Amino acid sequence: MQKIKILVIDDNSNNLTTFQTMVQGLFPDAVIYTALSARKGIGLAVKEDPDIIFLDVVMPEMDGFELCIELKKDDRLKLIPVVLNTAFSIDPQMRIKVLEAGAEAFLKKPFDQSELATMIRSMMRIKSANMLALHQKEILAQRVSEQTEKLTNELERRKQAEIIQTEVQAKLKKSQISLLNILEDLKAQNIARLESEKALKESHEKLRDLAAHIQEVREEERKEIALNLHDDLGQKLTALNIDLAWLAARIPTDFPEVSDKLISMQGLLMETVTGVKQISSKLRPSILDDLGIGAAIIWQTNEFSNRTDVPCKVSIIPEDMTMPDEIGTQVFRIVQEAFTNIMRHSEASNVVLSLIANESKWRLRIKDNGEGFSEEDIVDKQSFGLTGMEERARLCGGTFTIKGAPGKGTEIVVEIPISGQ
Ligand SMILES: Nc1ncnc2c1ncn2[C@@H]1O[C@H](COP(=O)(O)OP(=O)(O)OP(=O)(O)O)[C@@H](O)[C@H]1O
Ligand SMILES: [Mg+2]
């Protein structure tokens, strides 16, 4: 057990000695501090931190009550139990004064040894209880402060989190707004794009219609010019030829130069008649209108072979094939362009052409064994032959395909549905 430390304050040194002797007799290990005055007593109490203070009530400069009040005011000393000692009788008045001064107990002088021993033990218990209470209070205070700190930190954290949340929300709102704006822009752009696509499509359609119309008109004009050339000019030239023959028969035999001139004029006239016929059938072969698509294709094939010396096998099935004029014209022009391309690009030595009608469609196929072509040959070219063929097929409600590979020849296929026949 730790040593008991007792401070005793009394202005009478004999009293101090007696007290010291008695206590040491009871608790040999006890440490006893003595003070003859209140001031010295306070100093010792602060310095030594005793377990119990015994105070004499009657002292010159400051009596025991006043000193007790002073001690209890001091935070460092107020937990030390104070016992007031007095030689006076302890009446109720006195007890009240003792309690009001804050002292824990009082003891009547001269001290009874066993009473003193009991008093010291009970004051030691009070001191321990005070210390325990202090300790617990400190722990409690510590916990409260820790808890407060935790709460403060938590509050601060929440505050920060709230600030961050508000910032994030603001940013989110901002980005939502800009997202909405972007979406709006995109929508507007999309609408504008769709509108311009529609306008483009419409103008494309118009152009196609215009091209088709121009072709129709051109075809009609060609037909008319060819007819005029053939009938009108041809007939007049023939009449002129007859006239020349009539003139030749009437020229006297002694004008041989005139006869020779007439003969040469007749020759020139015949050549002109042939030329006119050729031009007329180039513009539009009358055979197309007179004998139909099958005969026109056979005639065109012979023209091609005669001009190029390239044999071309033709199959028209059925042989007496018929088709509406406008479709026949388109198919014939496709065949002409195909032959022109073969002549210009293929170096072919053989060509096969077939035009076959089944129940639902006409199928035209022209295949040569020439050089063929690659993708680059036909992409981005300022040429209109293939486009024209495709457009003609489309105008008939059909399809056009061309297949070719370098060195493997070229094949074109046109398929036109037979409808309303
Ligand atoms: N039978 C073929 N054999 C080889 N190449 C061909 C054949 N037909 C077409 N081509 C290739 O396809 C290209 C495009 O043909 P297209 O008829 O459109 O144009 P083009 O004949 O060059 O010019 P144009 O506008 O006067 O017809 C040709 O330039 C050629 O390279
Ligand atoms: Mg061409």
pLDDT, mean of residues 50-62: 93
Q: How many domains does the chain have?
A: 2
Judge if the beta carbon of residue 373 lies within 6 A of ligand 1.
Answer: yes
Q: Is residue 82 in a domain? A: yes
- Whether the pTM exceeds 0.75: the reply is no
Q: What is the pLDDT of residue 412?
A: 97
What is the CA(386)–ligand 1 centre distance, in A?
7
Q: What is the pLDDT of residue 175?
A: 93
Q: What is the pLDDT of residue 39?
A: 92
pLDDT above 80: residue 379? no
What is the CA(375)–ligand 1 centre distance, in A?
11
Read off the CATH number of the domain in which 298 is found.
Answer: 3.30.565.10
pLDDT, mean of residues 251-259: 85
What is the CA(337)–ligand 2 centre distance, in A?
6
Judge if the beta carbon of residue 336 lies within 6 A of ligand 1.
Answer: no
Q: Which residues pair with residue 303 across a beta bridge?
A: none
pLDDT above 70: residue 178? yes
Q: How far is 44 from 1, CA to CA, in rounded Å?
A: 23
235 vs 200: which has the higher pLDDT? 200
Q: Is residue 401 in a domain? A: yes
Q: What is the pLDDT of residue 421?
A: 45
Dump pLDDT digits (tens) for 2-48: 789 999 999 999 999 999 999 999 999 999 999 999 999 999 999 99
Q: How confident is the model at residue 163 (pLDDT cuts 50, 70, 90)?
A: very high
pLDDT above 60: residue 420? no
Q: Is residue 132 in a domain? A: no
Q: Is residue 122 in a domain? A: no
Q: How far is 288 from 274, CA to CA, in rounded Å?
A: 19
For the chain, percent of residues with pLDDT exceeding 90 = 65
Least confident of 180-194, 308-322, 373-387, 394-408: 373-387
Nearest-10 Cα torsion for 39, 42, 48, 53: 120
One-letter amino acid at 237 equals L
Q: How far is 142 from 158, CA to CA, in rounded Å?
A: 24
Q: Is residue 107 in a domain? A: yes
What is the CA(345)–ligand 1 centre distance, in A?
6
Judge if the beta carbon of residue 15 lies within 6 A of ligand 1.
Answer: no
Q: Is residue 156 in a domain? A: no
Q: How confident is the model at residue 125 (pLDDT cuts 50, 70, 90)?
A: very high
Q: Are 300 and 312 in contact (CB under 8 A)?
A: no
Residue 268 tokens read as 């020139």
Number of helices followed by number of strands (H, E) in the chain: 12, 10
Q: Is residue 232 in a domain? A: no
Q: Is residue 323 in a domain? A: yes
pLDDT, mean of residues 392-401: 93
How far are the Cα atoms of 2, 257, 260, 264, 265 from residue 254, in angstroms, in the given order?
182, 9, 12, 18, 19
Q: What is the pLDDT of residue 1?
A: 56
Q: Whose CA is nearest to atom 19 of ligand 1?
A: 383
Judge if the beta carbon of residue 334 lies within 6 A of ligand 1.
Answer: no
pLDDT, mean of residues 172-186: 94
Q: Whose CA is nearest to atom 6 of ligand 1?
A: 345
Which of 339, 374, 375, 383 has most ligand 1 atoms within 8 Å of CB, for mutation? 383
Dump pLDDT digits (tens) for 75-106: 889 999 999 998 888 788 888 988 899 999 99
Q: Which of 111, 131, 154 is the last residue of a domain?
A: 111
Q: How far is 38 from 45, CA to CA, in rounded Å?
A: 10
Which of 373, 403, 414 has most ligand 1 atoms within 8 Å of CB, for mutation? 373
Q: What is the pLDDT of residue 89?
A: 80
Of 80, 35, 87, nearest to 62 by C-alpha is 35
What is the CA(221)–ligand 1 centre distance, in A?
26
Read off the CATH number of the domain in which 76 is found.
Answer: 3.40.50.2300
Residues 6 or more apart in contact with residue 123 via CB below 8 angstroms: 51, 52, 81, 83, 104, 105
Q: Which of 111, 140, 156 is the last residue of a domain?
A: 111
Q: What is the pLDDT of residue 280?
A: 83
Q: What is the pLDDT of residue 214?
A: 87
What is the CA(404)–ligand 1 centre distance, in A?
11
How far are the Cα atoms of 69, 79, 119, 126 from residue 133, in angstroms, in the given order?
21, 10, 21, 10
Instruction: State which ligand 1 atom lies nearest to the alpha carbon of 381.
Output: 14
Q: What is the pLDDT of residue 15?
A: 93
Q: Which of 111, 126, 149 is the last residue of a domain?
A: 111
Q: What is the pLDDT of residue 144?
A: 93
Q: How confident is the model at residue 288 (pLDDT cuts 50, 70, 90)?
A: confident
Q: What is the pLDDT of residue 380?
A: 67
Residues 6 or more apart in contact with residue 66 via CB below 8 angstroms: 38, 101
pLDDT, mean of residues 104-122: 93
What is the chain's mean pLDDT, rounded? 91
Question: Which domain, by its residues, includes 74?
Answer: 5-111
